Structure 1
């Protein structure tokens, strides 16, 4: 199931062991190398450590009631997550990031993104267009497969006009039609 990033904030985190709400999700921790949500910052009164992180591998189920985990031990302080420390240090935020195409034309900024809840892979980017380009369409939806590069400054996607080229322009005739050839009348001089 695809959900927007706004639907992933303030989601209750429920313990399967006790059946109580342990905390709520906050800002996601995104690995920019694979565009994957690896963890969520958590906040709540029952937490032992502030801030705490919930690794996405520890989420048993994501449903309409919230994210279900085994027990409160799944919510850990950032210092305990040694393997994720490199990703946490990136401090990568996808929202507000500039989007350009391969010809270096500015397409807009990331306004939202859609994530698949079973794998927490970011599948689509919702891009807000600049004012002049927004006259035709105000938002642009970019699929994960169109992304070429993710950097600290911008996200590069495939050049959009390459796909909009008419089909007839891509094919060249194999043979000429003799009936369409111009007749060269011979003139007597």
Structure 2
């Protein structure tokens, strides 16, 4: 099931062991190399700084809340050594420019996340002012994404597809030497 990334904002984190709310999701730790949410930033009562909840420790995720086994699964960011580089990137997908080739398409307004694997499957893009006249929002599938950087998301667009079609058409045309000459006839008299 796909869930909107914005639906994971300010939802409760519930512990099965305690049977009550143990925190609130306040953000996502997105790995830009794999476009996957590696962890959720969680605000826990009594602490000023947010903590991390690894997505592998989530039993169930829905827009109503996140269910975990125990509060011990929520980590202090200094204890998450494997995620140190991702934390230091401070990557945020919302409002990231989306370009196709050299042309700007718009900015990321939201994204769809698979609730079991936490891979980002779709980007919802608010088009720039000129394209907004034709459409209110664009949907970009994960398969169209070519590159993700701190400044932009590059997607395959018409200009990429057109150049690929032209290459395929050139390769598909037979050479003149293999065509029958005008002097030969296949008709028998």
Q: Shared fold (TM-score greater than 0.5)? A: yes
TM-score (norm 2): 0.82
Query: 2-side partners of 1:96 and 1:3: how far apart?
Result: 19
**Hey, which of these two has a bigger chunk of helix by percent?**
2
Q: Aligned ranges for residues 74-113 of structure 1 at < 5 Å? A: 74-102=73-101, 104-113=102-111
Aligned match of 1:158: 156
Aligned match of 1:127: 125
Quote the offset at 1:6 in angstroms.
Answer: 1.1
The answer as to whether partners of 1:96 and 1:109 remain within 8 angstroms in 2 is yes
Q: Residues 36 and 138 from structure 1, CA distance in 2 versus in 1: closer, same or farther, beyond 3 angstroms?
A: same
The answer as to whether partners of 1:49 and 1:76 remain within 8 angstroms in 2 is no
SS at match of 2:10: coil
Query: Is 2:27 aligned against 1:27?
Result: yes
Aligned match of 1:177: none
The answer as to whether partners of 1:114 and 1:125 remain within 8 angstroms in 2 is yes
Query: 1-side partners of 2:129 and 2:48: how far apart?
Result: 44
Aligned match of 2:60: 61
Query: 1-side partners of 2:117 and 2:48: how far apart?
Result: 26
Q: Aligned ranges for residues 170-185 of structure 1 at < 5 Å? A: none
Query: 1-side partners of 2:6 and 2:62: how far apart?
Result: 15
Aligned-residue CA RMSD in angstroms?
2.2
Task: List gaps (5 residues or longer) in structure 1.
Answer: 175-189
Q: 1:73-110: per-residue Cα shift (whole Å, max 9, x none)?
A: 011110000001111001000001111112x1111111
Query: Is 2:146 aligned against 1:148?
Result: yes
SS at match of 2:30: strand
Q: Residues 14 and 86 from structure 1, CA distance in 2 versus in 1: closer, same or farther, beyond 3 angstroms?
A: same
Aligned match of 1:137: 135
SS at match of 1:119: coil
Quote the offset at 1:48 in angstroms.
Answer: 5.9
Task: List gaps (5 residues or longer) in structure 2.
Answer: 175-189
Quote the offset at 1:65 in angstroms.
Answer: 4.0
Aligned match of 2:72: 73
